[in-house]
Amino acid sequence: MNLKNLQRTSKVPRSTDFLVDMHIHTSYSSCARITLDETLNELMGKVNAITVTEHNYIHNYSEETIQALYDKYQIGVLVPSVEISTAQGDILAYGISSPPTPYLDAHKVIEMIHSEGGIAISAHPFDYLGVGDLIYDLEIDAIEINGSRTQLSNELAKGAAATLNLPLVGGSDSHIHTQVGKCVTRFSVPIKTIQDLIEQIKKGKCSPVFLW
């Protein structure tokens, strides 16, 4: 199945779906030009939750901040999450307390993530700063379909997930307004915490969905 089919079959979210944009940068990342508030404002009514994945940095949002954001936008901010630069490419990590030193070996980084009970997801594997074919040699938990990268690279990611029998997730990888919420992850149950998210992904109960 090519990505056109993927997009077509997964285009329309059902009302019972719980949608999470799992790959978001804010202006804290030097490469991004949108704040967390602007991102949430953009996503209001479109997704149920997000994870903020800055490069090699984990935000310590307080419970009060997260509650205030929820009250304002009706979107959950699930913590902690981060995009780690490894020697071989970018790895998204969910459920770890602090990011490892950048540019360590990817195998080592994934080992560290798992030792903390977190999950490791290959970000845009077949595009710029992805791990490429090393994906077949890594103990990752899932593979990303990325809203900001090429269709071809997403098709290759989908093929790798089929070969490795791994779940696919979706993230917008948004750095600017026009990228926010393009591709997200669909769950069939509410995701209230990062542990809920980890649990569902480990069970393979998730799928990428393009919102436009």
Is 123 a binding residue for Zn ion by CB under 5 A? The answer is yes
Q: By CB under 5 A, what part of segment 1-30 binds Zn ion?
A: none
Please tell me whether residue 196 binds Zn ion under the rule CB under 5 A. no
If DSSP states are collapsed to H, E and C, what string results for the chain? Answer: CCHHHHHHHCCCCCCCCEEEEEEECCCCCCCCCCCHHHHHHHHCCCCCEEEECEECECCCCCHHHHHHHHHHHCCEECCCEEEEEECCEEEEEECCCCCCCCCCCHHHHHHHHHHCCCEEEECCCCCCCCCHHHHHHCCCCEEEEECCCCHHHHHHHHHHHHHHCCCEEEECCECCHHHCCCEEEEECCCCCCHHHHHHHHHCCCCEEEECC
Choose between 19 and 121: whose C-beta lies nearer to Zn ion: 121
CB of 162 to Zn ion, least distance (A): 22
Task: Kindly tell me which of 17 and 47 has the beta carbon lying closer to Zn ion.
Answer: 47
CB 145 within 8 A of CB 154: yes
x/- map, 125-164, Zn ion, by CB under 5 A:
----x-----------------------------------
Which part of the chain contacts Zn ion (CB under 5 A), choosing from 9-17, 85-93, 102-110, 188-196? Answer: 85-93
Is 54 an interacting residue with respect to Zn ion (CB under 5 A)?
no
Structure tokens at 118: 């977190």
Q: Least separation, in Å, of the C-beta of 102 and Zn ion?
A: 12
Determine if 90 is a binding residue for Zn ion (CB under 5 A): yes
Least Å from the CB of residue 67 to Zn ion: 26
Beta strand 76-77 pairing with 49-52: parallel
* Rounded-to-10 torsion of CA 39, 176, 10, 208: -80
**Min CB(206)–Zn ion separation in Å:** 18
Instruction: Indicate the residue whose CB is closest to Zn ion.
Output: 90
Task: Give yes or no for residue 173 binding Zn ion (CB under 5 A).
Answer: yes
Determine the size of the site formed for Zn ion (CB under 5 A): 5
Q: What is the nearest approach in angstroms of Zn ion to the Cβ of residue 31?
A: 8
Q: To the nearest whole angstrom, how small is the minimum distance from the Cβ of residue 54 to Zn ion?
A: 8
Residues that bind Zn ion (CB under 5 A): 83, 90, 123, 129, 173
